[in-house]
Amino acid sequence: MKVRRIVALVALVVFSAGLGSVFTVQMLTRGGDSVETVVSERSNRDALRHSGVLVADDGEQRAAGGSRAMDGDLLEQYQTGFRRVAEEVIPVVVEVQVVNIVRRQFPSFPSPFEFFFGEPRQPEEREYRRPGLGSGVMVRRQGDEVYVLTNHHVVEGAEEIQITLADDRSFDATLVGSDERRDLAVVSFVTDEEVPLARMGDSDELHVGDWAFAIGNPLGFQSTLTAGVISAIGRNPGPQSGMPTLTEFIQTDAAINRGNSGGPLVNLRGEVIGINTWIASQTGGSIGLGFAIPINVAKRTIEGLITDGRVSYGWLGITTGDVGEAVREALELPSSQGAFVHNVFRGSPAQEAGLLPGDFILEIDGRRVEGSNDLVRKVADLRPEEEYTFALVRDTERMQVAVRTGIRAEEAELARQSQNLWPGLAVTPITDEVREDLSLDRNAGTVIVGSVVTGGPAHTAGIRSGDIIQRVNNHTVGDLREFYRLINDRAQDQVVFRIRRGEQTLVLGLLYDG
């Protein structure tokens, strides 16, 4: 009986304990006639040893009692590398001690005589010194002034700042500048003594799996080094986290605890690749979910704070969102990758450039926009008062618009300008699912208000979330594309909506006003 040729593949995967090196031995058997052994290396080719097995360069497998010694050499190399990181980086990391003055009012307790016959006392105000602790890294020196990079939340509101070096030298420090929107700050102290400075790395070159080391003062334990890897890059904490949304974070499993804030995350070469900022934890302690601001983001902040005492961000003047499948289909967009313009600030760079509600932004100067959060970060990184080209889709047509960016105001100031947003609402198509959930008949309409900006024109006119917009300027709204064509038609100085709200029909108007 003729034996069919069978090709069997057996893969033996060996992990070198504690080293992370991996190799596979593949045995290919063809019809039982011969065996070929193929070795593929994934890392550390010169040290692929495990449990007394040595794989030669020619593919021959043989016993090797001396492999343990080679494993020992590799361990020594790892240890030497880690020591080198510690020796180089620990001296540039400082302890940041702050004192906040807290003022509180307490009731005054009069004597019995005063209680019955005297004037009532006013509450007494007392001051308390509240200490705080964080970390920082020395990044620059100009003359006798040494600049330390740390987190905004470490020094926020501090009345006193003291810097302590790894060799226990201490200096009084002053705040140079702080940037709440990226949670970064620079403080400085003066000395004519020699101090080491950190070497900056390139956070754009990071890859998941790279070695990472966090150095700082967790829980007050000075000059602590922890090791791990880059767990992820480009992490977005989301607007509900309370963390800065203008930054995508580096995630690491190197242990980070309270007191590490402001300290550096470094690579195997001892270069600073991030500033440790926050952890995700249900207990308040490290569970291997630490996050750092990429150093390439911090470099611009350092320059701005030292030079001007502030950081200027680019501003477009729109509110945006991501699009779901229903909106993508309704607007016939090429994909969901981009940022949808819901509202435009009156008098903003966006309005002056001609951007309109309903536009879908795809690129900035050829760089693809992944989503609405990505657009906000990319625009923030643009230099104010310079011109950039935005690629977008408007009513199924792709076009390019030149925009000269402005300077982004403080977030509180932007919130106060909500009355300048046009039109001050976001709408979405009425899908079959929405129609069924709301028990709407087929003639109810095609678009529904999803959200309304408090204080904006739509809110002032009386439009509310859940309203169904049936007509605009006496034209029936056939679909989402037609809705945006109608509200962007500037032939008239106002927009009149006919709205269905429950069993009511309302007519509400908005003035363009600029």
Burial of 178-203, coded b for 16+ CB within 10 Å and e otherwise, reads bbebbbbbbbbbeeeeebbebebbeb
Q: Which of 261, 286, 348, 418 is catalytic?
A: 261
Active site residue 183: yes
Per DSSP, what are the bridge partners of residue 190?
A: 145
Active site residue 207: no
Q: Which of 50, 152, 153, 459 is catalytic?
A: 153
Per DSSP, what are the bridge partners of residue 8?
A: 29
How far apart (Å, rounded) are the C-alpha atoms in residues 336 and 374? 13
Q: Which of 21, 50, 179, 183 is catalytic?
A: 183
Three-state secondary structure string covering 172-213: EEEEEEEEHHHCEEEEEEECCCCCCCCCECCHHHCCCCCEEE
Category of 259 on φ-ψ map: left (φ > 0), alpha (ψ -120 to 50) or beta: left
Burial of 378-395, coded b for 16+ CB within 10 Å and e otherwise, reads bbbebeeeeebebbbbbb
Q: Is 305 helix (H, G, I), strand (E, B) or coil?
A: helix
Among candidates 306, 280, 309, 275, which has minimal Cα distance to 292?
275
Give the start-end residues of each E strand in 191-349.
211-216, 224-235, 249-252, 264-266, 272-279, 290-294, 314-315, 318-321, 339-345
Report whether 251 contacts 235 (CB < 8 A). Answer: yes
Give me the torsion for CA of 446, 452, 455, 457, rounded to 10°.
-20
- Residue 489: how many other CB atoms lie within 10 Å: 12
Active site residue 152: no
- Catalytic residue numbers read 153, 183, 261
